[in-house]
Amino acid sequence: MENLLSLELPQKIELVESITVSLPFVTPFSTSNYTWSCKEALLLSITCNGETGWGECVADPDPYYSPETTISAHYIIKKFILPQIKMGMTFGEFVSVLQSIRGNMMAKATVENAMLDLMAKLRGIPLYELLGLKKKKIMSGISIGIQNNINDLITGVEKAQEKNYHRVKLKIKKGKDVEWIRTIRKHFPDVRLMADANGDYTLDDADHLRKLDEYNLMMIEQPLSYSDIYQHSLLQKHLKTDLCLDESIHSLEDTKTAHNLGACRIINIKQGRVGGMYEALRIAKYCSENGMKVWSGGMDETGIGRAFNLHLQASEYFTLPGDTSETLRYFNEDIVEPSVILDDDGFIAIPDGPGIGTKILAERIKKFSLYREVLPLPY
Ligand code: OSB
Ligand code: MG
């Protein structure tokens, strides 16, 4: 990582392009707060010397997971991030210059991702190697959205178990929580199980949530508000089950706050939510040095974002299975090749080849694209 900071950004950027794509989901995906029927994603490509680096913004077109959206990210990238990048900057200088821009971590991660992919491709090495990591098999995990009825949920968990997913995450919300978890646990006594509430509860629900302590959950993710850390610390004292924060964590600073308050014992690191791969690795290192565990979350990304999540998990700090599941769960047609698949033991291989290692399918991008814009060159 120290070595990474001293590397220079690519010398002569020839083209920067943003493309917004919309890929239909195989089945709609529901959290406690919203249902998405397609994945709209802002992609960014940066071209230099015949190589193109790609980034995928994890923001949705709407503010139902985070305040950032595809359009706000596009605006921030074009008006504020790209103009800060100067010829001859090191990667470390690039990261530190972006600190003057407050928030907008998803926008920052998009540019950082494209830059890292490009830097790795220009050197002919895989992204994990540029990050100073060693290749390993990646654990899989599946996130099953809120279902209409408990039978559909049982079927979903059954399928996940047949595939040998390393853990199963169930979305929960008020009215679809304790009874549903109780039923699933009865049917699947041994499955590694956890629940994600996407902020559906308040401290008034603390006694209700405590009933989940009986079901041997690996953790409960983001039970309280998307913007809260403190109240999670009160809830964590009230529960045996580990809490995990997702939406509330945007940086290493937030992670330190959560740790020092005792707000959670586990962090769901989404590299796209915390400003990119570099910040994600800093958070992971801090957690491992401070008795917290981390895993890599997902945002139903296309194959581009999913590849970044795989490379990130080459880090030894990612000791829990994350939300990286097979492409075919989400899309019949992705914009990269090969698709993410599980081996017989439920592991995933990091794609081989320079950069993120996946082949970008230009025709598919064209087929699913909504808007395209050539952005002003930073230098
Ligand atoms: O809370 O982790 C979440 C998807 C969209 C928005 C928020 C979340 C999720 C997931 C799915 O849980 C993760 C995935 O399969 O990529
Ligand atoms: Mg979550």
Q: Is 249 in the pocket of ligand 1 (CB under 6 A)?
A: no
pLDDT, tens only, 233-249: 999 999 999 999 999 99
Whether 270 is catalytic is yes
Q: Residue 147: CB within 6 Å of ligand 1?
A: no
CA 67 to ligand 2 center in whole angstroms:
15
Residues in a beta bridge with 48: 51
Ligand 1 centroid to 301 CA: how many Å? 9
Distance 299 CA to ligand 1 centre (A): 5
Res 68: pLDDT: 98
Any atom of ligand 1 within 6 Å of the Cβ of 30:
no
For 359, phi then psi, to 5°, come to -90, 130
Tell me what pLDDT residue 378 has. Answer: 79
pLDDT in tens, 326-342: 999 999 999 999 999 99
Instruction: Judge if the upstream peptide bond of residue 338 is cis by omega within 30 degrees of 0.
Output: yes
Considering every ligand atom shown, identify the ligand nearest to the alpha carbon of residue 330 and give its number: 1
Q: Is 297 in the pocket of ligand 1 (CB under 6 A)?
A: yes
Query: Tokens 């990050």 belong to which residue?
Result: 131
For residue 325 and ligand 1, the question of a CB distance below 6 A is answered with yes
Name the residue with the closest Cα to ligand 1, atom 7: 299
60, 226, 299, best to mutate for ligand 1 pocket (most atoms within 8 Å of CB): 299
- Of 245, 248, 300, the residue with max ligand 1 atoms within 8 A of its CB, to mutate for a pocket test, comes to 300
Q: Which of 31, 60, 66, 312 to probe ligand 1 with, by most ligand atoms within 8 A of CB?
A: 31
Query: The dihedral of CA 295, 153, 157, 59: what is its sign?
Result: negative
Residue 4 CB partners (closer than 8 Å, separation 6+): 91, 92, 130, 131, 132, 278
92-115 pLDDT per residue, tens: 999 999 999 999 999 999 999 999
Task: Tell me what pLDDT residue 298 has.
Answer: 98
Give the C-alpha separation, 198 to 225, whole Å. 8
3-state class (DSSP) for residue 71: helix
Q: Whose CA is nearest to atom 1 of ligand 1?
A: 198
Residue 2 pLDDT exceeds 70: no
Ligand 1 contact, 200 CB (< 6 A): no
For ligand 1, is residue 300 a contact (CB within 6 Å)?
yes
Residues 281-309, mean pLDDT to the nearest whole number: 98
The reply to whether the predicted model has a pTM over 0.75 is: yes
- 20 in Cβ contact with 376 (< 8 Å): no
Which residue stretches of the chain are H helix? Answer: 2-6, 70-76, 91-97, 105-123, 127-130, 150-162, 178-187, 206-210, 230-238, 252-261, 277-289, 303-312, 327-330, 362-368
Q: Which of 169, 171, 173, 176 is catalytic?
A: 171
Kindly state the average pLDDT of the residues 307-312: 98
pLDDT, tens only, 117-165 = 999 999 999 999 999 999 999 999 999 999 999 999 999 999 999 999 9
Give residue 101's pLDDT: 98
Nearest protein CA to atom 13 of ligand 1, as residue? 298
**Which band of pLDDT confidence, cut at 50, 70 and 90, is reported for residue 379?**
confident
Tell me, in angstroms, the distance from the centre of ligand 1 to residue 340's CA. 16
246 lines ligand 1 (CB under 6 A): yes
